[in-house]
Structure 1
Amino acid sequence: MRIHIHFIVICLLAWQTGLAQTSYSIKVPMERELWHGNIDKQQKKINQLNNQGKISADTTISLHVMDALTRGVDELQNQIELDSTLNSNSKIKYLRSIDFLLQGYLANVNRRDFPASLAPALIKAFDECMSLDKQRKSFAPVIDANHYGVAKILVDALSKYLNDNPGMAGARIMLMRKYLTMHPDQIMPELVKNPNAYFADSLIKVALSYDVGRVYDYAQANNALGSRIRHHSDSAVQLVARIATSKSGQLYFPFLDNLMRNKITLEAIDSVKGNDLSYFKLLVKTRIEYVQRSLPPYNDTANQMQALTEMMSRKAREYFIREINALHSVANPNVRFRRLDGLTAQELYYLAVLGEDEIYTSSYVNGVYPRIFQRMANPRSDSLIMSVHGDYFRKFIKMAAGYNELDDFLNRMDKQNAETMMKAFVIGLEKPRKTNDLEDAVDVADSYSSIMDKNKELAAFILNEVNVSYTKNVQENNKRGQVIYNLLRILFESADTTKKVDLSALLGIPSIYGKDYNNLTDDSGRVVQQVFFYGDDDKDGQNSYINFMAMFRGRPGWRIDERRPEWVTITSTKGKPVVIFANKPLYGEDDPDDKAQNKLIEYLQERNLTPSVVVHRGHSYHLQTTLRKLPASARIVVLGSCGGYNNLNEVLTACPDAHIISSKQVGTKTVNEPIIQAINDRLLVGKNIDWISMWRELKTKKFATGDAKEKFDDYIPPYKNLGAIFIKAYRKAMGE
């Protein structure tokens, strides 16, 4: 009974508060009725908001809010009218400020930093500010004493009619400081507008602890804030400024955390930065230290870990991988892989996992992988993984599976350890990482087909662990984990070719088995294609272009227009309309390829030509340029190079419905051209693209035996691209 009475009392109070309007204890002169009326209008709007339940679902909070904004505001109005020390203009000034105060509350209520519950504090603070202003005293202390949300609404309201208060300038500075303390990511963009603020030095230190990279960027600027950073008294800020203004800043930056901890000196980095081998060794040594620190009991994330990783990847690709790839035709392994001399097992390990997108099959199988174990005194693979503290171990296992080295990898450790390793490979995928959130799960998905082909017993073990992890996440009500493991379960069960599984239906995504012809045509009934070529100093791109053009030059049914210096247009003259635009591979200064591609893109956009088929032709280090320029209209994307997580993710971000053909290694014209030819043959007769039948036909007629078969087997058709399918299905399931 007591509970019921309590509830009725609350309801009555809420009802009475909802009805409350301004009740004046004195008659308001006509000259100020308008301003009181404006306040009443704002109160009615707030009351309507409250009646709609938009102030707060908590009855206690809404009662306090409505009491402050009705009774509290009414009292302020009465107080102003009864104050004999104020003339009419002064009273109007305060009344209009209350009007703006309520408008500010309405405009911001329940936005970030503006909880509805701040209303009582807001009205109290306004009363204090008004009292101080009457005495011509600064109201800045009131701003300083209140939460940012209160202070922001107050300053905005008071600046309309109380801008002459001696505390207004200080109040604005205090407000900015409050905001930046709450939002350190905005410190540098705001300080550049006000670099001489008295608290700038203290906030620069806050920004340094939040985002060193941003302080580094601003320290380079030739402006007042850049100067203030460079002349800062703090030793850590001075170090960042010194690095930022150094010609070798980008080479120092990956070691910033150790530099700030005095674990390494600039002089030590100077001694190796001019030698790619020595510099890469230092990068790997530092990465292993940082990874160890990130594990229990330290649980410490090193500053600029991403910068370190990106520099490692860049050096791995540019200095080592591209060299051994370029020498792929050299028979003598001592010549081809000479650049790997001097690298330890751990350094070769990082070379493989960070160079995944570019390393050739032969470079991995004949060069990097065997040398890892040759460089170990005791060539155990579990010892290798332990020596790098498990860093990128899923990536390494995925690559070993993809290049048919997984059995060798697992046989290099005890059977029990191998079982533990593969269990660790599968479990824990529900835990999000700070970057590349799905990369581990995609690596697991990508590896399964290769494992299934070579080791069905291991595949069954992995599937069982997936089911165990799914059950665990269901019990813990972890939605992310449930989605990840349910998708993996479905994908892995579908890999058993003895079972007929319709993945599209099970995953709720568009068909992965083919593309309807009508889905590839534009509004005019044409299929528009765009091909990205790149000029290279080794003439590889130019030769690729020549071979591509030979598919159409002098062939019946095609017309070629080469009049433009930047691109060529290839148009079908028989069958269904197909138009192919390909930029010419141009080599020289100022990146003429980029300019040619941009002009072609501009041309296509001006004429509303939307490519549904996009082909990347060129070295894999050009791939990022193609990915940045992918049209959202693309429905088929032929990468012809590694389909690692980052590449798949970028394609599907730009073109969510794209079917991706990718390769385990850099593409080859001997495979690319028959695939493109097969696609065009179907388009010319208006036929739907059926990947399963097309792939079967290519395999039996074009790539049946020998070297051609081996190269074709490296290509992954859309219906077998488990990484891409996983990303699509995950986004669908999570509503992304």
Structure 2
Amino acid sequence: MKPFKAILVLFLIPILLPAQDELAMPLIPAMRQLHHEYIIGSIQKINQLPAVRDSGYQKTMVWVDETITGIRAQIERNQQLEDNAKYRWLRSVNEVLTGFLQYQQSGQIRLNQLEPLIKAYQQAMKLALADQSIYPVFENNDLVIGNILIDNFCLKTNQGIPAAKDLLVWKYCQIYPDQILNTLSKQPQNIFADTLIVQAAFQDPEKLYNFAAAPNALGRKIQSVNHVLVKIIGQLSLTKTGRMYFPFLDQLYHGKFSMEDITPMLVDDSASRYYKLLVDTRIEYAGRMQKGDTPLLEKVLTAKLRSKAVELYINEINALHELKDLKIRFKVLDKLTAAELYYLAVMGESELYTSSFVSGVYP
């Protein structure tokens, strides 16, 4: 058995040696020596970062140095790459390292993301050299890694970059959802625009209302989204009284009201009916919230209920506070139910004169 093992080893050596030899750095032509020095210099700068010196990342940096050296060697040994292509790829490698330095110094990337960044670059490089889309690299990595790679010198013309840019916008918006509409205003044709607009509709309907009314690309995009809530908000944004419907947006969305049900209550002589609808809706919302269900724009409803209580009733009562005839002074309250009086008192507490409260609202 021993002679057989020896023969087997002899046969394996020629197979293994080339694989080991591929990692060795060949003689670097003088015309590309400077590009290699740039890369080495960038690694040295990373090694000098306080986070590296103070956090025991020396082992990681050994891996980084060995891996980057291997990439440099692969570029030099690749016989399918012309000299100009080798220049470009060496520049590309250095851009990854300088990009990491910039993002790390600005606090946007952590030191423990350096290894995933280099692995992501290796995958992207392999796909790009095979003339394949590098989109999967952006799918499988964090936003900050994608941001470093997206404009990389040798990757930015890859067929997968346009879709990857859209994906990075989506990832950014998941981290900063309050920036969805501001971001889409610059990129309304993003392939994730419809999904993001629906997300914005639930998160901040009032903000979507403002953007939907704008006569620009994003406004038109919002109006075209085929989603019930977005369509309602888009329709309201095109009317002069759109915000008057907002306290009932949840009811409109769930089909309990239609705009036609509310519209007649918006005229001056039906203002009391509008207040009554606010109270009825607030009572229903209170019941739902007790069960853990928070209606859309519940706070908007509460604010509108308060403003209407003051506008329609409390201002008039306060204006007549010197009038001794209480029937005349509080006549405006005659048609209100106990629940409506309760919300008037609660919502208008800070505006209602004490004498009005004890004499007429809750005598």
Q: Which TM-score bucket, shorter chain as reference?
A: 0.7 to 0.9
Whether 2:26 is the aligned partner of 1:26: answer yes
Whether 2:184 is the aligned partner of 1:184: answer no
Of residues 189, 192, 195, the one that matches 1:199 is 192
Residue 114 and residue 257 in structure 1: after superposition, are their counterparts in 2 closer, same or farther (change >3 A)?
farther
| Structure-1 separation of matches of 2:314 and 2:37 | 76
Whether 2:157 is the aligned partner of 1:164: answer yes
Q: What SS does the aligned partner of 1:74 have?
A: helix
TM-score normalised by length of structure 2: 0.84
The one-letter code matched in structure 2 to 1:40 is I
Is 2:309–2:347's contact at 8 Å kept on the other side of the alignment?
Answer: yes
Whether 2:229 is the aligned partner of 1:233: answer no
| Structure-2 separation of matches of 1:348 and 1:103 | 67
| Structure-2 separation of matches of 1:72 and 1:196 | 39
Q: What SS does the aligned partner of 1:240 have?
A: helix
**Structure 2 match to 1:277:** 272
Q: Deviations over 1:546-602 (max 9, x none)?
A: xxxxxxxxxxxxxxxxxxxxxxxxxxxxxxxxxxxxxxxxxxxxxxxxxxxxxxxxx
| Structure-2 separation of matches of 1:367 and 1:121 | 71
In the TM superposition, what are the counterparts of 1:57-96 in structure 2 within 5 Å?
62=57, 65-96=60-91
| Structure-1 separation of matches of 2:118 and 2:130 | 19
Following superposition, the deviation at residue 65 of structure 1 comes to: 4.7
**Structure 2 match to 1:222:** 215
**Structure 2 match to 1:292:** 287
The one-letter code matched in structure 2 to 1:48 is Q
Following superposition, the deviation at residue 63 of structure 1 comes to: 6.3
**Structure 2 match to 1:139:** 134
How much identity, in percent, do the aligned residues show? 38
**Structure 2 match to 1:5:** none
**Structure 2 match to 1:97:** 92
**Structure 2 match to 1:326:** 319
Following superposition, the deviation at residue 254 of structure 1 comes to: 0.8
Following superposition, the deviation at residue 117 of structure 1 comes to: 3.0
RMSD: 2.5
Q: 1 or 2 for the larger relative contact order (CA 8 Å, sep ≥6)?
A: 2
Stretches of 4+ aligned residues off by more than 6 angstroms: 110-113
| Structure-2 separation of matches of 1:341 and 1:109 | 68
Of residues 312, 330, 349, the one that matches 1:337 is 330
The one-letter code matched in structure 2 to 1:268 is D
**Structure 2 match to 1:259:** 252
**Structure 2 match to 1:35:** 35
**Structure 2 match to 1:365:** 358
Following superposition, the deviation at residue 332 of structure 1 comes to: 0.9
Residue 216 and residue 123 in structure 1: after superposition, are their counterparts in 2 closer, same or farther (change >3 A)?
same
**Structure 1 match to 2:203:** 210
| Structure-1 separation of matches of 2:210 and 2:107 | 28
Q: Deviations over 1:24-57 (max 9, x none)?
A: 733333322322222223222322333444xxx6
Following superposition, the deviation at residue 283 of structure 1 comes to: 0.9
Q: What SS does the aligned partner of 1:70 have?
A: helix
Whether 2:117 is the aligned partner of 1:122: answer yes
Residue 107 and residue 350 in structure 1: after superposition, are their counterparts in 2 closer, same or farther (change >3 A)?
farther
Residue 367 and residue 48 in structure 1: after superposition, are their counterparts in 2 closer, same or farther (change >3 A)?
farther
| Structure-1 separation of matches of 2:282 and 2:106 | 41
Residue 110 and residue 262 in structure 1: after superposition, are their counterparts in 2 closer, same or farther (change >3 A)?
farther
Residue 68 and residue 294 in structure 1: after superposition, are their counterparts in 2 closer, same or farther (change >3 A)?
farther
Is 1:68–1:119's contact at 8 Å kept on the other side of the alignment?
Answer: no
**Structure 2 match to 1:312:** 305
Is 1:118–1:149's contact at 8 Å kept on the other side of the alignment?
Answer: no
Is 1:187–1:204's contact at 8 Å kept on the other side of the alignment?
Answer: yes
Is 1:252–1:266's contact at 8 Å kept on the other side of the alignment?
Answer: yes
Following superposition, the deviation at residue 303 of structure 1 comes to: 0.8
**Of Structure 1 and Structure 2, which has the larger fraction of its residues in helix?**
2
The one-letter code matched in structure 2 to 1:272 is M
| Structure-2 separation of matches of 1:257 and 1:76 | 57
| Structure-1 separation of matches of 2:154 and 2:348 | 63
Runs of 5+ consecutive residues of structure 1 not aligned to the other structure: 1-22, 371-736
Q: Deviations over 1:510-535 (max 9, x none)?
A: xxxxxxxxxxxxxxxxxxxxxxxxxx
In the TM superposition, what are the counterparts of 1:348-387 in structure 2 within 5 Å?
348-370=341-363
Is 2:52–2:111's contact at 8 Å kept on the other side of the alignment?
Answer: no
In the TM superposition, what are the counterparts of 1:515-534 in structure 2 within 5 Å?
none
Q: What SS does the aligned partner of 1:221 have?
A: coil
Q: What SS does the aligned partner of 1:272 have?
A: helix
| Structure-1 separation of matches of 2:164 and 2:181 | 20
The one-letter code matched in structure 2 to 1:25 is M
| Structure-2 separation of matches of 1:268 and 1:86 | 71
Is 1:64–1:120's contact at 8 Å kept on the other side of the alignment?
Answer: no
| Structure-2 separation of matches of 1:184 and 1:203 | 9
Residue 237 and residue 198 in structure 1: after superposition, are their counterparts in 2 closer, same or farther (change >3 A)?
same
Is 2:52–2:58's contact at 8 Å kept on the other side of the alignment?
Answer: no
| Structure-2 separation of matches of 1:209 and 1:111 | 33
**Structure 1 match to 2:103:** 108
The one-letter code matched in structure 2 to 1:354 is M
Following superposition, the deviation at residue 228 of structure 1 comes to: 2.1
Following superposition, the deviation at residue 110 of structure 1 comes to: 9.3
Residue 344 and residue 201 in structure 1: after superposition, are their counterparts in 2 closer, same or farther (change >3 A)?
same
TM-score normalised by length of structure 1: 0.43
Is 1:113–1:148's contact at 8 Å kept on the other side of the alignment?
Answer: no
Q: Deviations over 1:420-444 (max 9, x none)?
A: xxxxxxxxxxxxxxxxxxxxxxxxx
Residue 68 and residue 339 in structure 1: after superposition, are their counterparts in 2 closer, same or farther (change >3 A)?
farther
| Structure-2 separation of matches of 1:103 and 1:252 | 53
Residue 167 and residue 342 in structure 1: after superposition, are their counterparts in 2 closer, same or farther (change >3 A)?
same
Residue 72 and residue 350 in structure 1: after superposition, are their counterparts in 2 closer, same or farther (change >3 A)?
farther
The one-letter code matched in structure 1 to 2:143 is Y
The one-letter code matched in structure 1 to 2:235 is R
Q: Deviations over 1:670-707 (max 9, x none)?
A: xxxxxxxxxxxxxxxxxxxxxxxxxxxxxxxxxxxxxx
Residue 293 and residue 109 in structure 1: after superposition, are their counterparts in 2 closer, same or farther (change >3 A)?
farther
In the TM superposition, what are the counterparts of 1:507-546 in structure 2 within 5 Å?
none
Q: Deviations over 1:450-507 (max 9, x none)?
A: xxxxxxxxxxxxxxxxxxxxxxxxxxxxxxxxxxxxxxxxxxxxxxxxxxxxxxxxxx
Following superposition, the deviation at residue 111 of structure 1 comes to: 7.5
Is 1:143–1:171's contact at 8 Å kept on the other side of the alignment?
Answer: yes
